[in-house]
């Protein structure tokens, strides 16, 4: 299997990044190839680790989860990162966490039913984790942008951005 991506691979990715439910047959028709070709290309993208899965997007507020918050987490020592992440994984309301530069060691995304639920998750869950020095909470009032990045195939004739 070829390890290089071509424009067809990028076209397939662009379509699926916009809507992962598009059937391979519809992608094939749009790109004027066979559905078998799309299937083989997707297997290649998966084996290369470019496509790592798919997911369904849920409007949590319609299920009673009305609070989205971001938590800046200060660690006592950066060497505790892996242990703290292991513990954060156990808290179901933590839906994302990033190791960051800047003031915080970890920036986490939390989804809760209401402010009381958020307070409980923070004070009786997150802040009790060994290695966390303190936290800073930001409540999201509205998510205005949530989209995939628009990917492009590199032009071999064009110098890289850092050149």
What is the tens place of the pLDDT at every residue in 21-52? 999 999 999 999 999 999 999 999 999 999 99
Residue numbers of the domain that contains 72: 60-140
Contact (Cβ atoms closer than 8 angstroms) between residue 16 and residue 27? yes
DSSP 8-state code for residue 98: E
What is the predicted pLDDT for the residue at 39? 97
Query: Of 1-5, 31-35, 68-72, 147-151, which gets the smallest average pLDDT?
Result: 1-5
66 in the same domain as 43: no
CATH (domain of 116): 3.30.70.920
* d(C-alpha 118, C-alpha 122), whole Å: 6
71 in the same domain as 35: no
Residue range 105-121: average pLDDT? 98
Residues near 162 by beta carbon (within 8 Å), at least 6 away in sequence = none
What is the predicted pLDDT for the residue at 163? 45
Residue 1 in this model has a pLDDT that exceeds 50: no
What is the tens place of the pLDDT at every residue in 45-103? 999 999 999 888 899 999 999 999 999 999 999 999 999 999 999 999 999 999 999 99
Number of domains in the chain: 2
- Does some domain include residue 159? no
């Amino acid at each position: 299997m070829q390890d290089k991506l071509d424009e067809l691979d990028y076209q397939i990715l662009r379509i699926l990044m916009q809507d992962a439910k598009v059937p391979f047959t519809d992608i094939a028709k749009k790109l004027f190839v066979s559905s078998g070709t799309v299937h083989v290309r997707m297997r290649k993208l998966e084996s290369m680790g470019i496509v790592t899965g798919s997911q369904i997007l849920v409007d949590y507020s319609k299920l009673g989860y009305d609070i989205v918050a971001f938590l800046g987490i200060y660690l006592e020592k950066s060497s505790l990162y892996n242990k703290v992440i292991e513990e954060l994984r156990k808290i179901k309301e933590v839906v994302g966490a990033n190791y960051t530069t800047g003031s915080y060691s970890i920036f986490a995304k939390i989804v809760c039913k209401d402010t009381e639920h958020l307070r409980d998750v923070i004070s009786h869950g997150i802040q009790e984790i060994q290695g966390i020095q303190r936290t800073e909470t930001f409540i999201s009032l509205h998510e205005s942008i949530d989209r995939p990045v628009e990917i492009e195939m590199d032009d071999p004739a064009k110098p890289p951005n850092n050149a």
